[in-house]
Amino acid sequence: MTGSMIVNNLAGLMMLTSLFVISVKSY
């Protein structure tokens, strides 16, 4: 259970960071 939660958190962080980078590059 904890392993899957960590994987989900990492996936969410990667998605947020990728969106943040895209928004910064668009400027």
Q: What is residue 21's predicted lDDT score, i.e. its pLDDT?
A: 95
Q: Which residues of the chain have pLDDT under 70?
A: 1
When divided into structural domains, the chain yields a total of: 1
Q: What is residue 24's predicted lDDT score, i.e. its pLDDT?
A: 94
For 27, the 3-state DSSP assignment is coil
Neighbours of 17 (CB within 10 A): 10
Q: What is residue 19's predicted lDDT score, i.e. its pLDDT?
A: 95
Q: What is residue 14's predicted lDDT score, i.e. its pLDDT?
A: 97
Residue numbers of the domain that contains 5? 1-27
Radius of gyration of the chain (CA): 12
Q: What is residue 1's predicted lDDT score, i.e. its pLDDT?
A: 64
The length of the chain is 27
Q: What is residue 2's predicted lDDT score, i.e. its pLDDT?
A: 79
